[in-house]
Structure 1
């Protein structure tokens, strides 16, 4: 296992981003950006694997999480403010560009980085949430809902109904998570059981009507769910951090669809750098298999690789080895300059005629 070091970068006056780093300081830089709800430590399987082969691997606690600034200030969590934080993080490494890997809202942030500062992106990896969707506000993803599963008359916001719940009743939405933060963390990191038919509407499509998890008064307690997909020490660190910050700040990412659209919508979104999208075939909320959610990324990226892993939304929790293998192969094949020693080492191969 890699030795993880802790770092802080201060920016925009009094904001702080805390991040974990592993691997040689002069190794190729790869940044792992988590989504909702996670912290930097949840990328530990990736930090260990990439540091072991010579990368400088970094995973921040995103604003609103862990040891980073987690104020109840809504403006802190729009994409413009988050990109400002990512530029401060990058500057603190002493580099001008990196391979960016994002999951969930982390994909939204890395997508915004690619739109606003394409010169800082050696390659872009999106997991579960494709580039050119969520960072563009409602218009970036709502038109892509599969209306055969979610007829507009009955499911106006499709499987994204829960996002509208945040906009309409934010404090009530957060109160439910905070009533048992550790229990909820355990429930969402529990290995998924057999999932419902892909053509059956998911619970997230009826949150405004029925409440979270079809109306449970509070999250399941830790005793009610099986073991976490995360190693025990990683889960305990993550859950402890979520209990400390609560869910208000991390969930405020959902309150800026209009503002995010204004920030990113008028910018050039064609991406020439190598890009990778990792599908979770069992992810029924960020459904990229039976909906058109992947189409904008296909249209925007001139060099796109896709990989599909037999997992649900938290792909890198559930199948870390498979995710790492896909990432390694993508970098070797599409961004060889970012593979440790690839260009500096003498490497020859002789084929025998026998």
Structure 2
């Protein structure tokens, strides 16, 4: 397969089917997106990885895009998403893969590597650091954040609530959400934090308006908006609605480190990186296989889209140094 060609296919998984975009040949690199994205968030990485000699595969996580969207809320628990990733590797005729994730995809990638080290031989995490399972129950942690304001996670967790905000204007909401977390369009440090909701308000109240971030043009926004206008937001939001269930499911793995060779890339202006700085400092214990770790100055949350050249360079350098690399 020429590395310039992207092949789209559907493969069987426990969800029913998963859609993936594939480019290149060589060792398998599985790319897992976050919220609110789809396979397209890896559009800059697919050709770069293919050119470097890898079989790059970006999936639509269950609930997104052309992948299945089960009705049951608990179908979006982390254990199910790990099973999907394993099924993709098997459906592609491979025995192992490197798994790389961004945002929620980083959590999915980390848990996939934690639970199935026989399948996932290395793990790359973008934007969201690894934190071992365990600790306080998530709903109790989030309920104590923000004082009179409400943190976005519990706001997303009530079924139907965020859908009522987003779905009447998917395109406009996505544009604002992407801008709120992008380095060149995020609110000033002294402005109200877009991660929190004023009582009686909406998340969108704090989004910047009027311009797109530099990494996102109208055509890119059309792709994302088109997917969510077609699917609705529930499948994507159900990931947030399983956090307590994940906490219980993974209780036997409390405090367990990830030992495979690993990579972490974060943005210096990304709240996911700054708020979880303690998790990054704990990497010698929690991520003992860490081979490459970089915080990109002047970068926000959408790291592989905001800084594709840096991400591609650091990712391919890390991959090339792995055992069994090209």
Give the TM-score taking structure 2 as reference length.
0.86
In the superposition, relative to structure 1, how do residues 237 and 195 fare at CA in structure 2: closer, same or farther (>3 Å)? closer
Structure 2 partner of 1:345: none
Query: Structure 1 residues 118 and 154 mapped into 2: Cα distance closer, same or farther (>3 Å)?
Result: closer
CA contact (8 A) 1:137 1:258 kept: no
Structure 1 residue 226 and structure 2 residue 215: aligned?
no
Deviations 1:27-81 (A, max 9, x none): 0111110000111122010001001121000001110111001244312211011
TM alignment of 1:64-103, pairs within 5 A: 64-103=63-102
Distance across 2 between alignment mates of 1:292 and 1:23:
37
| Secondary structure of residue in 2 paired with 1:9 | strand
Match of 2:295 among 290, 308, 314: 308
Distance 2:34 2:45 in 1: 15
1:352 corresponds to which residue? Answer: none
**Once the 2 structures are TM-superposed, how far is the Cα of residue 303 of structure 1 from its aligned partner?**
2.1
Structure 1: where are the runs of 5+ without partners? 146-151, 341-354
Specify the SS of the correspondent of 2:229: helix
Question: Residue 40 and residue 172 in structure 1: after superposition, are their counterparts in 2 closer, same or farther (change >3 A)?
Answer: same
Structure-2 change in CA distance of 1:215 and 1:49 (3 Å): closer
Find the counterpart in structure 1 of residue 319 from structure 2. Answer: 331
Q: CA RMSD in A?
A: 3.0
Q: Name the structure 1 match of 2:263.
A: 276
Structure 1 contact 35–107 (Cα < 8 Å) conserved: yes
> Relative to structure 1, is the Cα distance of residues 203 and 99 closer, same or farther in structure 2, using a 3 angstrom cutoff?
same
Pairing 1:193–2:184 present: yes
Q: Distance in 2 between matches of 1:10 and 1:326?
A: 32
Aligned to 1:321: 309
Q: Deviations over 1:277-298 (max 9, x none)?
A: 11111112x1336742424544
- 1:1-354 → structure 2 map (5 Å cutoff): 2-12=4-14, 15-24=16-25, 27-132=26-131, 139=137, 155=146, 161-167=151-157, 169-190=158-179, 191-193=182-184, 195=186, 202-206=193-197, 210-214=201-205, 224-226=210-212, 229-230=215-216, 233-267=219-253, 269-284=256-271, 286-288=272-274, 291-304=277-290, 305-310=292-297, 311-333=299-321, 335-338=322-325, 340=326
TM score, norm. by length of structure 1: 0.80
Q: 1:73-128: CA deviations, max 9, x gaps?
A: 31221101111111111111211211110011111111111121112122111111
Q: 1:140, 1:302 → 2: CA distance? A: 25
CA distance in 1, matches of 2:119, 2:83: 13
Moved more, 54-63 or 190-199: 190-199
Matched positions, count? 319
Q: Quote the offset at 1:10 in angstroms.
A: 1.7
Gapped regions of structure 2 (runs ≥ 5): none
1:137–1:257 contact (8 Å) kept in structure 2: no
Change (3 A) 1:251 1:2: same
Equivalent residues of 2:185, 2:212 under 8 A apart: no
| Contact in 2 for aligned 1:19/1:59 (Cα 8 Å) | yes
